[in-house]
Amino acid sequence: MASFSADVDKLDKRLAETVTADDTVFTGRLLKVHRLTVTLPNGKTSTREMIRHPGAAAIVVLDDENRVVLERQWRTPAGGAFWEIPAGKIDPGEKHAVTARRELKEEAGLTARDWVFLGTIRNAIGYSDEHIEIYLARGLTQGEQRLDANEFLTLTRVPFEEALAACRDGTISDVKTIIGLMWAEDYIRGRLTQARSL
């Protein structure tokens, strides 16, 4: 069994697949579906189906009373409403940190003085290139919410410890929200080594 300190480059070369054909099957407003032909490590070929996504930013928002801002939003693909941290896709040419600030203002009507990059998740590595950068925002100023015309959500503020408990008991099941809240907890406790202030 390989350890994290092993020569990962050598290991990866033995696992790598080479894309030999890339056919766009569907192009939507947000997503593209591709059918890839790949050469496997053993020389045989196979097909991979892949969703291309522009990427997104998500924000753990903590107020001065140590409450986290959560959204309740209907998600048709999952068939219900979910508790989530504010998030949104990056616009063409936009940096993730800019997306985070824009989405916080649009969805929650908030600006933040203090920003910390917590990390990047790849939430569907088996079929998508989507990646989400997660930030912690504090030092809040309330402004006006500016939702998109087709966006409907409600906001609530929950004590941070209660939100963490909701992750652990399954009340919160959205992956970016669970990871974001856990990483924020680790950062606050000095255990998140990948974090950096902006």
The residue with tokens 């998030």 is: 87
Residue 2 has pLDDT above 70, yes or no: no
Please state which of the ranges 12-16, 115-119, 182-186 shows the lowest mean pLDDT: 12-16
pTM: 0.91
Half-sphere exposure of 140 (CA within 13 A, CB side): 23
CATH number of 56-197: 3.90.79.10
Does the active-site annotation cover 17? no
Can you read off the two tokens belonging to residue 70?
């959560």
The bridge status of strand 80-84 relative to strand 132-142 is unpaired
Confidence of residue 3 (pLDDT cuts 50, 70, 90): low
Considering only CA atoms, give the Rg of the chain.
19
At residue 69 the predicted structure's pLDDT band, cuts being 50, 70 and 90, is very high
CA distance 58 to 89: 9
Residues of the chain above pLDDT 70, percent: 97
The reported pLDDT for the residue numbered 146 is: 82
Q: Give me the pLDDT at residue 195, please.
A: 87
Residues 6+ apart with CB under 8 A from 116: 135, 136, 187, 195, 196, 197, 198
Q: Which tens digits make up the pLDDT trace of 92-137?
A: 999 999 999 999 999 999 999 999 999 999 999 999 999 999 999 9
- Indicate which residue of 49, 151, 161, 162 is catalytic: 151
Q: What is the pLDDT of residue 54?
A: 94
Exposure of 101 in the CB half-sphere (CA atoms within 13 A): 12
Q: Is 69 exposed, middle or buried (0-12, 13-18, 19+ CB in 10 A)?
A: buried
Compute the average pLDDT of residues 141-163.
90
**Residue 10 confidence (pLDDT) above 90:** no
Residues of the chain with CATH 3.90.79.10: 56-197
**Per-residue pLDDT for 7 more than 80?**
no
- pLDDT bin (cut points 50, 70, 90) of residue 6 is low
CA distances 30 to 53, 68, 104, Å, are 7, 28, 20
